[in-house]
Structure 1
């Protein structure tokens, strides 16, 4: 028998947890080893390791046997236990008991009763192959049920710690209640012994859970308020979509219990992210948003929006965010619901970023003042890849936030799709195993247990600072929205739902039966809430839908820069540039830097000391350094950003000899000692969607932090298109949420093929809300506020100086806008693309006029004006020089959006005899052409004394692919367009 048991130990974690054995005990040895060890011990207990001796003695001592196998007592032992076989039987029984206990710990969840509808289909999908039902007969016979077995395990927690002997029947009943009831747990996949022991203690002490009368009344009142709210909205607005929470109503009391626990743990700020389902219910019941404000959003009343005012397009009521300061007990918490689009789960990384930014702002290294709660749908959490991308941040140094609490509002359906068609695994929460996050499944119709689970989850988050999942298994009382007919596709499911009373009714009946409340108290509670809601409704009929009702709390404070001139000035005095430049370009002699990196920094230092032109990398470092020097914070994030994809940044330098040595960050020299945390430069995991979402969430928190996300290549940014479309480009207009996020997108047709050539600037330009009519109609106020009244800025800087100013401009003003910077790869090392230090003392140039007027004829004799943007400028410049053609001027548009109408108009007026052409290196359907064409034409039309003929296009012909994969063809294409550019 022992041989049989031992052979079954391979799939077991750890039963007896003798402290000196560790996790390998009973799980790593083979049968023959155990038998030989036991035989050896039986003959001479001193011949085996002391820990094994202790184990064998422990088992026998607890069973009141003479366990000392000394020769003179051998006959006595043999007589009482039938010799060695008796000892084998005793140890075999212990092993089998521990195997049974462990199987419940591992797989009890598969037998649980967490589905309030008890749907059969949920039992038919995703079961693990070879699944054997939990059955004691796998290890014991029926006649063993009333035998007592030794179950104790030294160093363990739970039942194996608290009990020595137990009848098998009683043990099975205990395990069934602990692991197979209306709460079930997945925690044995966690590698940490401490975490598993903690969970085991929570689970196997279930008989200690006795909610007080006060706790039951609190749950009753919270469920009553939620039930009244949902019922009222369904009656008053039965033709409106509200995506109610009915069927998972207990989530509301659960969330309030979570916040109770968090407040007592020291939380001050809780950031929520959730989709539309139950959002209004959460805002009303948890955030305490007024019923009037919610109801006015349902009604087609007079709006205070003015379409002549920029932005303020608004959004549907179940997308809007909210911030409220709420009292829970005597603790004040700030609750924030991030706004989000209908794209499910996109808010996940934004919450991670927002929470981390708050923690960084308050220097909360323990990660206890702020934490996040993500509320998922069951179909979305298992179907959307962004969930995985966000989860991977959980324990990454640059992204972790000390644990997010994930709540799955599990309706057991996704619109019309049932679980067997929406996931391959057993549970919608299987993704949690990827980061060893525990999962607690709970029946949504058991509100007391729901409150308990939410408290356990909060305790776990605060104790271990790790993510945890709650799978709240319920249903959806109506269709996907309240106008949808679910019986078209789920007739059996909805027949059961129609017969299932709301959880508040069930719970009220339970408390009435327990004598805790009376029927009259229930009726009084409902009438009070209904009267209050009716009064709120009547008030809402007289209210306007005002932007301020859903506008998030303003930024804490935008730091107004006072150094070096007015807000608009991005230039820095030359002496400051030199002083800081020397500080941030020196590597200590004692630091073992790579020779090439040391040479790289020495060269940069030499440029600064000798007043020589600097490159893009040096200008960027000076922009970062001067902002840090002014007191701002800076975060740079993305794939390989510390070194940079093109090996030009080297912002974090690694010790070449000491593997445990500290990295050296030259930019720290721009910050006073002790404030190094104001600078963060982190390599991200291989994710665009998730990391850009994180950095967007980070950027909306503190306006005094320059947050930059850099793509490995600009081509890869489209993996994050949802964040770009639904947050960066539109959040301010929809939700009045500001962001100063910078996207650095390496871009340029350099012959590297279709996936390493284009940041797809045309897509960003299409998202720009720049309006040519503002210039055409000469709307002065709108024109002077052009930058402020735009959704984002898009630049292609051709000089290091302009790049320097573009970065500094992000913080050197009293508002924030996203910046999309198309950064050239080729210009990083092009000698012609350098700037004098004095150019960093001025300001950003939206348009560059002809750089070499002395080379050209007089402006009124110029025959052609080439307008371009980006690195193609240097190709055009060289071609003109080769041709010695002095009647063609080249102008550069550095800022594409908002379009620099007036700046361009001031420059082109002098070229009154010239034709105007647009030259780009991209294909015609790519690049800026479609965007700039009508805008340049508007400028030409409004500029006197110049030709107003249609601007011509010179560039590659249309193509489905951004670039050719053949370098020879690439060279031919570029030479062709350069030739055409100078054919007059």
Structure 2
């Protein structure tokens, strides 16, 4: 029997005795009695044995020795005078010998002084989350010693602030008695005799002096109860002081109406899961059971946001608990959710495949307890854990930029994570790193880790090296609050604190809500195969809601009547859910029409000559006193001159596209690795003063709103950086949003974003994006990692008009493509394979007339050759190589046609070009190996045998490098040989 069991048995006997219900059976087997005359003031007694007793233990009053009854508390503490108790043993010598009685009293004395871990066992049994203070002799108490101990008190306070979280009781499944040497008073040279001595605190707890007993009590209440706090690594003293002022005041008592709101939220969470479990048996839903406290936690965050006047709260989260959040926080109707369970979707909800119900998002309005409201947005997401995080941050930044309220950050991002994925997925580190960067800042994100202490079947010891799954949040000095999920009051308290911190410091903050997963990874999974001990504990646990009701009644915070009303409310919610499922009907907008993309020529993309010159003039309108690098001045001047000599290069063409869109009041955001200057020193969109580092962005002169044009050097990330821009573009319908890779080869670091969002979000979730990916691509002998943007991968993802893929061959074509895309009402992603060596290639330059007339042409004819015997279709840089080779050899019977648009493949235009040369052999020539580049998709889409539209009796044949596993050779000489062979075959086949 441990102490807790003994205590409960003891209290049960006392209750019977006071109620007069003791029976003979209660005395069976008893041979020892305890009498406590000390309760009425008796200091020493020798009680008399009655028949049948072997020993009676007399316990006297617990008080100070008589000679110190007149001493003050300060004197008693200074002199190390403690209370004493007299124990007497009256025994029957026929049963117990005198020596045994004496030894018994000796052992009692030793136990009371802490021998054999006596108090350790008691503390562990009662779940007291810290070590008992050990018996020790007092040090000599002097003025010098008091000064010395004051310093030790400061060390003790610092130790609790730093390591107190290690002893916090945050695990709802299993209590573990924890210890840490830095939290033991003995380590700091303090003893139990110091408990009632007062020491200077340095302002701790808002007081100048406190007794060690009170200091320890406040430290333990602040850092070692059901909340553990990590923050002492934060360098900013103001932040640390702010947290201390909030935490080191003890828990504030909740008002009755707050208790009831928490209880109502727990009711809703549990009722929802109970219904789904009984009505849709075996269907995957990734329930929140075991983590229901996240609902009142989120409710507290949103209530704070609404009460503080924030415009919107945007939530990104995984699939676990998503349906519960949709129903109980975001306000999605039960009926709509159940429609999705039964496979019924409104016609206008998705345009393609659709997705499982626990991936879908929603929008709504949240109302706080005070009646204040804020908009709520829950982002759709794939099963790829944490992938939605950068996307949501981009959505939030776009909303904030559209509001255009400087530094207001009135849209709050909230990200929910699982413990295993938060520790294991590298994109989290990328998202954290971007949190305070000017181009990505959103004013702080509240991260909530729903820590169910298992990842599918993998236990924490196998899924992370760190102590906590949240440890790497320290890289941005974000405070971390660990909270026991079975204490919903603590969850709500910490949610409010986290919100206040975000508002005060505009930084990220992390809540680690430790809970459990009542069922398996999904509802058809058997978790006890891999976590048998954990699930024995889980199966024996009552729900968080039940425990909370019991605690409230036990503390007297609510009455039995209120508890009964809560139970009725719980039942009514269940009945309302049942009623909702019987009134399902699929709703759709009868006026809904899916937008259709206009043809390229239907959108006017040309600009006037005067506008082109106005845009170019910004490049030389240097602000007074601004010092441009001397090597850069000629490049800026050439942009103006090139309009006169028909030598407009790629960067100037892009400048004209951006500038004209800005004049049309269309926002532009370009972000990427080294994008302000350009990887190839080509763009120079932002000029740096060579003397003082000031910045000048020439194109901003074209629009009075500086927030209309951002060119951002991103962090060295692809995954999070591209995800952010996707989210930004999905939200900012009016903006041209571009992400640029340093080289197109590196975009595969963001393959999850490409696969799960860019290529398929419209079909899965009805989510539109117009993100542009700029991917430098071209075979120039730079090796396998600086040659290919993997055209074939993007084309393989193309279907159902989901995106546009292009490889323009001139600055003018690029210009018209960007403007066509920006002005196109049918929003879809655009993948552009941009040049490297062509950036300054004279043969690839465009004239001013190419910009003041025309439009984007998916196919560009070769008007120099009539009735060719060989017709080459190609795309990108190789066109200029082929033209140069044709001129070099004097070839006159080969026509070279550029395919600027790779998806949707302009097959009608290609057929029309082939018909111009009815006797010509048809070739597709590409730089890329046979198994890469556009060829596979071009061949498929032009093959009548495979359902494409062909060229009649003629066959389109391929000319390329041989199929290889690597995109390109790393040997420059071999590259040259391959290039020569490619040109030879193109003109001889």
Question: Is 1:603 equivalent to 2:638 in the alignment?
Answer: yes
Tell me which of 274, 277, 281 is aligned to 1:234. Answer: 277
CA gap 1:142/1:740 in 2 versus in 1, 3 angstroms: same
The DSSP-based 3-state class of the residue aligned with 1:909 is helix
Question: Is 1:386 equivalent to 2:427 in the alignment?
Answer: yes
How far, CA to CA, are the matches of 1:880 and 1:956 in structure 2? Answer: 19
CA deviation after TM superposition for structure 1 residue 701, in Å: 1.1
Query: Which residue of the partner structure matches residue 7 of structure 2?
Result: none
Query: Which residue of the partner structure matches residue 965 of structure 1?
Result: 970
- Tell me if the contact between 1:144 and 1:168 (Cα under 8 Å) persists in the aligned partners: no
Query: Which residue of the partner structure matches residue 985 of structure 2?
Result: 980
How far, CA to CA, are the matches of 1:355 and 1:942 in structure 2? Answer: 42
1:61-92 residue CA offsets vs partner (Å, 9 max, x unmatched):
xx99xxxxxxxxxxxxxxxxxxx995542321
How far, CA to CA, are the matches of 2:365 and 2:161 in structure 1? Answer: 41
CA gap 1:251/1:644 in 2 versus in 1, 3 angstroms: same
Higher relative contact order (CA 8 A, sep 6+): 1
Tell me which of 452, 455, 464 is aligned to 2:496. Answer: 455
The DSSP-based 3-state class of the residue aligned with 1:752 is coil
The DSSP-based 3-state class of the residue aligned with 2:711 is strand
The DSSP-based 3-state class of the residue aligned with 2:434 is coil
Q: How does 1:565-580 map to 2 (within 5 A)?
A: 568-580=603-615
Query: Which residue of the partner structure matches residue 236 of structure 2?
Result: 192
Query: Which residue of the partner structure matches residue 614 of structure 1?
Result: 648
The DSSP-based 3-state class of the residue aligned with 1:762 is helix
How far, CA to CA, are the matches of 1:377 and 1:203 in structure 2? Answer: 26
| TM-score, L = length of structure 1 | 0.83
Question: Is 1:805 equivalent to 2:848 in the alignment?
Answer: no
How far, CA to CA, are the matches of 2:283 and 2:603 in structure 1? Answer: 47
Q: How does 1:529-678 map to 2 (within 5 A)?
A: 529-540=573-584, 543-544=585-586, 568-588=603-623, 590-608=625-643, 610-659=644-693, 662-672=694-704, 675-678=705-708
The DSSP-based 3-state class of the residue aligned with 2:313 is strand
The DSSP-based 3-state class of the residue aligned with 1:325 is strand
Worse-matched range after superposition: 164-173 or 728-737: 164-173
Question: Is 1:735 equivalent to 2:735 in the alignment?
Answer: no
Q: How does 1:307-346 map to 2 (within 5 A)?
A: 311-328=351-368, 329-346=370-387
How far, CA to CA, are the matches of 1:169 and 1:791 in structure 2? Answer: 68
1:84-138 residue CA offsets vs partner (Å, 9 max, x unmatched):
9955423211110100111000000000100011166x98xxx9xxx63621110
How far, CA to CA, are the matches of 1:940 and 1:832 in structure 2? Answer: 38
**Alignment root-mean-square deviation, CA:** 2.7
The DSSP-based 3-state class of the residue aligned with 2:773 is strand
Query: Which residue of the partner structure matches residue 3 of structure 1?
Result: none
How far, CA to CA, are the matches of 2:942 and 2:624 in structure 1? Answer: 54
Question: Is 1:248 equivalent to 2:291 in the alignment?
Answer: yes
- Tell me if the contact between 1:305 and 1:312 (Cα under 8 Å) persists in the aligned partners: no
Query: Which residue of the partner structure matches residue 102 of structure 1?
Result: 158
CA deviation after TM superposition for structure 1 residue 410, in Å: 0.4
How far, CA to CA, are the matches of 1:846 and 1:929 in structure 2? Answer: 20
How far, CA to CA, are the matches of 1:261 and 1:482 in structure 2? Answer: 34
Q: Which structure: larger Rg? A: 2
CA gap 1:374/1:655 in 2 versus in 1, 3 angstroms: same
Query: Which residue of the partner structure matches residue 734 of structure 2?
Result: 704
How far, CA to CA, are the matches of 1:310 and 1:535 in structure 2? Answer: 27
CA gap 1:285/1:941 in 2 versus in 1, 3 angstroms: closer
CA deviation after TM superposition for structure 1 residue 173, in Å: 2.4
Query: Which residue of the partner structure matches residue 136 of structure 1?
Result: 185
Tell me which of 193, 199, 202 is aligned to 2:246. Answer: 202
How far, CA to CA, are the matches of 1:720 and 1:287 in structure 2? Answer: 30
Tell me which of 278, 282, 286 is aligned to 2:321. Answer: 278
CA gap 1:168/1:755 in 2 versus in 1, 3 angstroms: same
CA gap 1:882/1:567 in 2 versus in 1, 3 angstroms: closer
Q: How does 1:465-504 map to 2 (within 5 A)?
A: 465-504=506-545
Query: Which residue of the partner structure matches residue 472 of structure 2?
Result: 431
Tell me which of 301, 304, 307 is aligned to 1:264. Answer: 307
CA deviation after TM superposition for structure 1 residue 304, in Å: 5.8
Worse-matched range after superposition: 359-368 or 98-107: 359-368
Q: How does 1:440-451 map to 2 (within 5 A)?
A: 440-451=481-492
Question: Is 1:841 equivalent to 2:884 in the alignment?
Answer: no
How far, CA to CA, are the matches of 1:212 and 1:735 in structure 2? Answer: 42
CA deviation after TM superposition for structure 1 residue 812, in Å: 1.4
CA gap 1:554/1:400 in 2 versus in 1, 3 angstroms: farther
Tell me which of 924, 934, 938 is aligned to 1:932. Answer: 938
- Tell me if the contact between 2:603 and 2:820 (Cα under 8 Å) persists in the aligned partners: yes
Worse-matched range after superposition: 94-103 or 325-334: 325-334
CA gap 1:587/1:612 in 2 versus in 1, 3 angstroms: farther
CA deviation after TM superposition for structure 1 residue 546, in Å: 5.7
CA gap 1:701/1:135 in 2 versus in 1, 3 angstroms: same
Q: How does 1:42-191 map to 2 (within 5 A)?
A: 88-118=144-174, 132=181, 134-153=183-202, 156=203, 158-159=204-205, 162-191=206-235
CA deviation after TM superposition for structure 1 residue 523, in Å: 2.9
How far, CA to CA, are the matches of 2:798 and 2:947 in structure 1? Answer: 22
- Tell me if the contact between 2:350 and 2:764 (Cα under 8 Å) persists in the aligned partners: no
- Tell me if the contact between 1:873 and 1:892 (Cα under 8 Å) persists in the aligned partners: yes
1:157-204 residue CA offsets vs partner (Å, 9 max, x unmatched):
x42xx2233332332222112111001100111111111011101111
Tell me which of 438, 445, 461 is aligned to 1:397. Answer: 438
Which structure 1 segments of 5+ residues have no match? 1-62, 65-83, 771-789
Query: Which residue of the partner structure matches residue 92 of structure 2?
Result: none
Query: Which residue of the partner structure matches residue 406 of structure 2?
Result: 365
CA gap 1:213/1:983 in 2 versus in 1, 3 angstroms: same
Alignment size in residue pairs:
847
1:847-876 residue CA offsets vs partner (Å, 9 max, x unmatched):
4444351xx3x32xx111011101001111
Tell me which of 790, 793, 796 is aligned to 2:807. Answer: 796
How far, CA to CA, are the matches of 1:119 and 1:880 in structure 2? Answer: 80
- Tell me if the contact between 1:511 and 1:517 (Cα under 8 Å) persists in the aligned partners: no
How far, CA to CA, are the matches of 2:949 and 2:774 in structure 1? Answer: 34
Query: Which residue of the partner structure matches residue 907 of structure 2?
Result: 901
How far, CA to CA, are the matches of 2:946 and 2:871 in structure 1? Answer: 12
| TM-score, L = length of structure 2 | 0.82
1:607-648 residue CA offsets vs partner (Å, 9 max, x unmatched):
22x252300000000100000000100001011100000000
The DSSP-based 3-state class of the residue aligned with 1:376 is strand
- Tell me if the contact between 2:601 and 2:855 (Cα under 8 Å) persists in the aligned partners: no
Worse-matched range after superposition: 222-231 or 102-111: 222-231
- Tell me if the contact between 1:905 and 1:940 (Cα under 8 Å) persists in the aligned partners: no
Worse-matched range after superposition: 582-591 or 326-335: 582-591
CA gap 1:742/1:606 in 2 versus in 1, 3 angstroms: same
Tell me which of 826, 838, 850 is aligned to 2:837. Answer: 826
How far, CA to CA, are the matches of 1:804 and 1:849 in structure 2? Answer: 15
The DSSP-based 3-state class of the residue aligned with 1:392 is helix
How far, CA to CA, are the matches of 1:747 and 1:270 in structure 2? Answer: 40
- Tell me if the contact between 1:941 and 1:948 (Cα under 8 Å) persists in the aligned partners: no
